[in-house]
Structure 1
């Protein structure tokens, strides 16, 4: 093979297969000659794929492969042995080791926090949390890497004039100047260098060594565009070797010179990187030859290559599109069949896009030996597709890995951190205790039973006091009917406190060393993960994700000392920030013929069907990420490449993917309900298709989306039906309170669910005291006051009532919301109530409160017992009774009382008339009244019915007897909301009745 040669393998040719074939042909029959060659490739994945390509070429026969390496992987030991005497090589080999990435990030975060303190002292707002500092440090490390990779010097920052930028960028520039002065000194103290500095130094050392002592065997750099200066330098050195060769990926050798010249100024063009490389190498495009192995392969179609070249024209020459239809016979003009093998797919949403892609990948497996790959920068789409493929038990590895933070052990640790920082508040506590890894030293199923018991008896409702002390106190005050559960929970909570308490104490401190928090966090997680059969470490750190997490904790123990002590409550956010960049990659089990790849990993790969997914503007190409350290003008003035260069590299990746026999382009037309804009490359292809009259060939194919829709679509859809339970009469309730009679009328299904199925709605977790609790507190205060002074008021009635209120509210007064909203309302109620009582007591002979009554009502299946507790019954001066019910929230109107829609008070009067209140002699009822005591404006009011009360009571009795008789018939179902116009205000059982599935109107009926 001649030295100093540069070749290209065109788009449409399988790059690595052509590379292997050309190299095989060049070395002839000598099997050792192939082994003496060195081939440098862009990525480790390309190295593995190149080995597979050589094996395919040899048809699986044993063979000695060439040395295959990633360009950036330099064997230091080999370099030292062969060229250690060279001064340049020795200097690179003597460099200190690269600083570990996590330690560097934390050291930079320390600088960020120190500068923030300085800005705060000057009255300038700045990021103060360790979490923010760590994220900013990650961006700063990326900037340092980019500056070093581009061969720029931070000293050039002094040439930037702060006054030319916005004020905040001036502050940032000042910080960068400080950092770049301090950072080299810190690195020297650490005995380390930046990773990019070491990598590039070793690459330059390799180039120096080869120039000083050129190897006589072939050295080939293949598949690189030379976008990194150190790589371009190595490529220059290889061209000077006796058998040095460059093989470029997909160089456009067919466009005319004017178009090629425009490429040089269009950074977003796919050929811009190669143009820049050739200019740097000083090689005209015409001197680049066709790689010998490429001629054997027939590109997908020559027409497709020409069409793609047209679609990717530099922006300055796109006026030529107008002429496409008039010059079809020209050699470089796209021809018929340009869109053969290209499919376009538009889906309504990312879910359907992922489903359609999964269908296309699954379809490939129907043909033995065929392969497919999804190539996308959209990791969310990649995860969706992998999930969809699992329906066919297909495990496909996403080359980008899965975020470690989303793995089970990392989620467990995050939840434990939140639990501790929130001092065992109900929601984070239950989230951690219900995680599958939680066992607390017990069998997991036994532990979960205790967690559910704690939730049901203690954590539902108002939040206990902080920490395990507060949790224990909440268990201690459980009612005596839960005595057995209380005893078991006390022991169990003490065990939890022993496992998690030290972490709560650590995170409750105002300043803690980060290493101490990490150690306490890991110990708490292991303690909670321990089961009766396995240690916590065995359960927590196992599997790919567990091992990755264990490595992170090992790194944190070595690196977190770089941070100054931070508030304990900041640890969960800091831990999340440190997790963000970590991914998990399964080591085995992935399908051999299906792949999900990022654009970088897909370079040089070969598949029968390539699906380019997520082709929306902002996703592919991605919008430039906001740089917190340098604005676009600052980057330009400093000499960093424009964001368009990344777009050009992405465009080259897309162009190379078009070499597959079959290419599918997909996008979602809406994301989270928002319309999307097609990728600029799709729009260019549309324009070319329109100019060629090939719009029909490039229309979206609806079939894959329809296929996916059919997978879960039932053969027929029947509308939901209202539940009509008809339990036997002997299980139907024979006792109901007067308040439940109203529910029985409005929603019989609620009676069925609560009394027959014995289902009760749980309180919300960590809830503020609700309206019912507020009503009970006000009611109890009024009841206590009236019971204490049934005839005459005390000398200071308002003060006494407020004292009863404080006693009634005692369990809630430590809550800010109670003081702010409830107590002022009660004070207004109390003032109103005392004034009403002063007037009312003049016409009273006696008053009683909380009277319990019951009355047997005959029915077809036997007696039905009506029960009730009257808030207040006043014996008036004329011997009649007035029945009063306090209402703090919604209340029936006077019309509801008169027309029977609110039967509570008439039924209480029925019990009174039947002698059902043992302490009250039978006498007529002259008044039924609701007292509104909500504390608003006005603070109270009375709605009373004082005429026709006897008739209301008689009607209520008749209605009750009819209701009893109706439901004593076994054929009568318990309807759910039989009359939508009279549905209950609150319905705990609407979801069980599936009202939303069968009722017209809203979910509640």
Structure 2
């Protein structure tokens, strides 16, 4: 077999060309020298000059760089356009302005769409259009803000004309969103509009722009408007210094995360702090951050998280999911665990009981089990109402559940309350977007259904960012690659430098065509590639740099980013500090628990002991148990429980009566429906997975009745069902609940145990009666000199066969042998005999203690 040819990398040439053409590294000394020379040449007083920066965190570093060469004298003002605008005049926009507040903007966007489409749009399409309108308006906002307010509407009209008429099909919606977004931003005021006013002209004699990697339309427009008093400077030398980098090749996601964390710790241990952690891949960065937090590193995340990913956001969404009319039991339990108003111990006890009962929908939970106050609280969030009332009622529900106090004490929670205006601040949304929707002086006040409110909250939390605070000086700063420009760090670690997360030619954002981008002035692919060139070059300023990429992601092969390929360093395999581990298996457990032997033993408990002593130790002596799933598909176990209860109810009601076949069928059908409802196995309870089992019912019913009539014709009569019985052998008590006891014509008791497994498996049980525990154990519970017992195989009736009672031979001998073995086994355990893991085959495959015994790792 010949090796596959190397996959060509089409972006490598682009990367090499970009690095040769453009290398903006952010040299403060060079930038300060250029500014100083400019001020001297133009004779501008430093205090009357505003130096516009691409990022707000650069202002402090710019002042420090200026002070390094100007110990005395006046200092230029270093600020972004928005920072400068804030110092001139606080902004108070109109309710319809694009505010970059996700909650307000979503509501205003709905108003604009209602003006165009009306209120009858399908809800799912409406939510999608709102999200796209907010996103599109956000892309156009920098272009609109770069026009003086008096010219903005004319620019928007010209841009809409350039886009042409709305298209058809899917293009219709994209075109509609584009036209509405242009109308919106054309009518908007922005917080930077003061920079176009005489106030800004009087505040600064000249503007100097230090550009970022991407063009800033507003800053560039302000400089152009100033004429000779507006100057754009470059940062530093055209040639970047030689890179001080190493390229590390990782195997997969987790290996890359561990390697990146190890690189950061290596720099910190060497005294290099702070370290910049570049957020190319947000999921990977979150994992690296978690590893560093665990190591005690002080970390500041400037890239931020979505508010929806915080614990506060999860807690609010848990409440809203729990309030849904068809909420699952899991959803309500998840919320109850987060609600301080409800006792944690009581909630755990409730969960155990609901898992035992297997109730998947909260509406099917018996009222006696529900914690006091839960139903009233949740039902208060189910009826439609206006948005402002939703916010007030949600705030009241949070207060009743105890969650509000926890939110106020948490930084993310406090931001969540502010962003959503929960409580008293809800009046800020009064009428927001409604005037535009009404098209007149009488705004509508729509009543929102729960699904619409929940979707709005989810979208707001997705759109809002959160930056956690850090105590003390940060040792590690997480930041996007574009924010590396002009920042001083002792070392840089850049994980996620693969072809997927760091392409040389990023895809443009949005659905605009090339022609539309050109007409609007949006950056095209070439401009984005140039910005990517510049951002990568800012890493290569001589600072120690670690570049990491992984070869596989979820099974897919990955290549390194073209930028990483162009570094003149051979990649090396990432290696964590080696640690020698002696290959050795785990010693086989041989626990002894003589004081924990239960006095009462059931058939299933003794079956566990016979299958595996360690299983008996874990499940019966230590009383460990797996937590049952609540929201699972129905299975054969549900079928068995259902049939058991239906037949029990049928014979308890029928007794000695013989009403005839038609009456028996009617009774069985009625009880089948009633039991299914009580067990939560109907569509009303969301148990659609039980429908295939219900479809078997007519055949099961007919097969059972055919067996029953033949059984009764032989003189058998029903005595009792689901009866508890006990017996004693030595010092041990045996107990169990028997499915059914009949009496034969001669009065002999006949024990019947219902089986819904395959008939072949049931036949295998009785073939070797001394290996079967259940029938022999049940026989020991009945004090009778002569006794019969058998398994009633039910489920093969669906093949047209009647149910079949399968009785073993030598039942009395099997019973006596079981009693002798049980007494001997329990006596030995009580005397301190070990309980090793001896299970094999199916006994291990379906064991609740699997893994606890560590059998797979034994020496």
**TM tier relative to shorter chain:** 0.7 to 0.9
After superposition, the Cα gap between the structure-2 partners of 1:147 and 1:173, relative to the gap in structure 1 and judged at 3 Å, is farther
Aligned to 2:13: none
Task: Please give the per-residue CA displacement for 1:558-616, whole angstroms capped at 9, x wherever unaligned.
Answer: 23642643212322221010111222234552534532221232212222323333212
In the alignment, the residues of structure 1 paired with residue 420 and residue 95 of structure 2 have an alpha-carbon distance, to the nearest angstrom, of 24
Deviation at 1:996, TM superposition (A): 5.0
Tell me what 2:806 maps to: 944
Contact 2:715 2:744 in 1 (8 A): yes
Which one has the largest radius of gyration?
Answer: 1
Q: Which stretch of structure 1 is more off in the superposition, 107-116 or 512-521?
A: 107-116
Q: Match for residue 448 of structure 1?
A: 344
Deviation at 1:980, TM superposition (A): 1.3
Give deviations 1:891-947, integer Å, cap 9, x for gaps.
7432332223323224444x3xxxx535xx52264x74432247643475426246x
1:109 — aligned with what? 110
Give the SS at the match of 1:421.
coil
- The residue correspondences of 1:288-303 to structure 2 (distance < 5 A) are 300=241
Which runs of 5 or more structure 2 residues have no equivalent in the other structure?
1-20, 148-154, 435-445
- Does structure 1 conserve the Cα–Cα contact (< 8 Å) formed by 2:324 and 2:450? yes
**1:778 paired to 2:643:** yes
Could you tell me how far apart the structure 1 residues matched to 2:738 and 2:473 are?
A: 72
Verify the 8 A CA contact 1:750 1:989 in the aligned structure 2: yes
- 2:306, 2:466 within 8 Å by CA — same for their partners in 1? yes
SS class of match (2:630): coil
Q: Which residue number in structure 2 is paired with residue 903 of structure 1?
A: 773
Alignment CA distance shift 1:391-1:17 (3 Å): farther
Does 1:886 find its partner at 2:754?
yes
- Equivalent pair of 1:374/1:597 in contact (CA under 8 Å): yes
Q: 1:636 offset after TM fit, Å?
A: 5.2
Superposed CA offset, 1:197-237 (max 9, x none):
x63x5555589948xx994xx75333446723443344446
2:99 is matched with which residue? 100
Give the whole-Å Cα distance in 2 for the aligned partners of 1:460 and 1:853: 22
In structure 1, the residue matched to 2:78 is 68
What does residue 56 of structure 2 align with? 44
Preserved CA contact (<8 Å) 1:76 1:93 = no
Q: Output the CA distance in 2 between the equivalents of 1:802 and 1:496.
A: 35
Query: Deviation of residue 765 (structure 1)?
Result: 3.0
Structure 1's 661 and 513: CA in aligned 2 closer, same or farther, altered over 3 A?
Answer: same
Shift, 1:658, TM fit: 0.8
Partner of residue 65 from structure 2, selected from 53, 73, 80? 53
Which residue pairs with 2:589 in the alignment?
723
Q: Whole-Å Cα distance in 1 between the matches of residues 787 and 86 of structure 2?
A: 106
Q: 1:958 to 1:157 in 2, by over 3 A?
A: same
Change (3 A) 1:717 1:429: farther
Give 2:160's aligned residue.
Answer: 157
Number of residue pairs matched by the alignment: 802
How big is the shift at 1:815?
A: 2.3
User: Which residue number in structure 1 is paired with residue 210 of structure 2?
Assistant: 222
Alignment check: 8 A CA contact 2:207 2:223 kept:
no
| CA separation of 1:174 and 1:137: change in aligned 2, threshold 3 A | closer
CA deviation map 1:477-523 (0-9, x unaligned): xxxxxxxxxxxxx7xx334456x34xx33x422x4211211221122
Number of the residue aligned with 1:89: none
Unaligned segments of structure 1, at least 5 residues: 1-8, 81-91, 121-125, 188-192, 255-298, 305-338, 476-489, 531-535, 690-697, 1000-1005
Mark the CA change 1:823 to 1:813 in structure 2 (over 3 Å): closer, same or farther. Answer: farther
Q: Select the residue among 227, 235, 258 that pairs with 1:355.
A: 258
Residue 597 (structure 2) aligns with: 732
Per the alignment, in what secondary structure is the counterpart of residue 572 of structure 2? coil
Separation in 1, partners of 2:354, 2:461 = 33
Match of residue 139 from structure 1 = 135
* Deviation at residue 626 of structure 1 after TM alignment: 7.9
Query: 2:402 is matched with which residue?
Result: 529
Aligned twin of 1:673: 555
Secondary structure class of the residue paired with 2:799: coil
For residues 159 and 24 of structure 2, the distance between their equivalents in structure 1, rounded to whole angstroms, comes to 44
Q: State the 1:16 CA deviation.
A: 1.5
Q: Deviations over 1:713-744 (max 9, x none)?
A: 6744643344322211x542354334443332
> Partners of 1:792 and 1:13 in 2: how far apart?
95
Which residue pairs with 2:14 in the alignment? none
Cα distance in 2 between the residues matched to 1:369 and 1:979: 55
Query: Alpha-carbon deviation of 1:344?
Result: 0.6
The root-mean-square deviation of aligned C-alpha atoms, in Å, is 4.2
Matching of residues 388-403 of structure 1 within 5 Å: 388-403=291-306
The answer to whether the Cα contact below 8 Å between 2:81 and 2:219 also exists between their aligned partners in 1 is yes
Residues 114-144 of structure 1, C-alpha deviation per residue, up to 9 Å, x if partnerless?
6566896xxxxx6636643442232132243
SS of 1:360's partner is: helix
Say if 2:372 is the partner of 1:494.
yes
Distance 1:134 1:512, change over 3 A: farther
CA drift of 1:654 comes to: 0.8
> Please, which of 804, 807, 824 is the counterpart of residue 965 of structure 1?
824
Contact 1:848 1:873 in 2 (8 A): yes
Deviations 1:871-891 (A, max 9, x none): 345544577665432112467
Contact in 1 for aligned 2:707/2:802 (Cα 8 Å): no
What is the distance in 2 between the residues matched to 1:980 and 1:183?
A: 71
CA distance in 1, matches of 2:329, 2:32: 62
- Out of 562, 567, 583, the residue aligned to residue 449 of structure 2 is 567
| Mapping for residues 277-676 of structure 1, pairs under 5 Å | 300=241, 304=242, 341-368=244-271, 371-422=274-325, 425-435=328-338, 438-440=339-341, 447-458=343-354, 461-463=357-359, 473-475=367-369, 493-497=371-375, 500-501=377-378, 504-505=379-380, 507-509=381-383, 511-529=384-402, 536-537=404-405, 539-554=406-421, 557-559=427-429, 561-562=432-433, 564-589=446-471, 591-621=473-503, 630-631=512-513, 634-635=516-517, 640-676=522-558
Q: Label 1:54 to 1:388 Cα distance change in 2 as closer, same or farther (>3 A).
A: farther
Q: Does 1:167 align with 2:169?
A: yes
Asked if 1:834 corresponds to 2:700, the answer is no
Instruction: Return the alpha-carbon distance in structure 1 between the equivalents of residues 555 and 605 of structure 2.
Output: 44
1:452-481 Cα shifts (integer Å, max 9, x gaps)? 2332335653448756xx767142xxxxxx
Task: Report if the CA contact (8 A) 1:896-1:902 is conserved.
Answer: yes
1:802 aligns with 2:801: no
2:847 partner SS: coil
Name the TM-score, length of structure 1 as normaliser.
0.70
Displacement of 1:49: 1.0
- Do structure 1's residue 20 and structure 2's residue 32 form an aligned pair? yes
The DSSP-based 3-state class of the residue aligned with 2:541 is coil
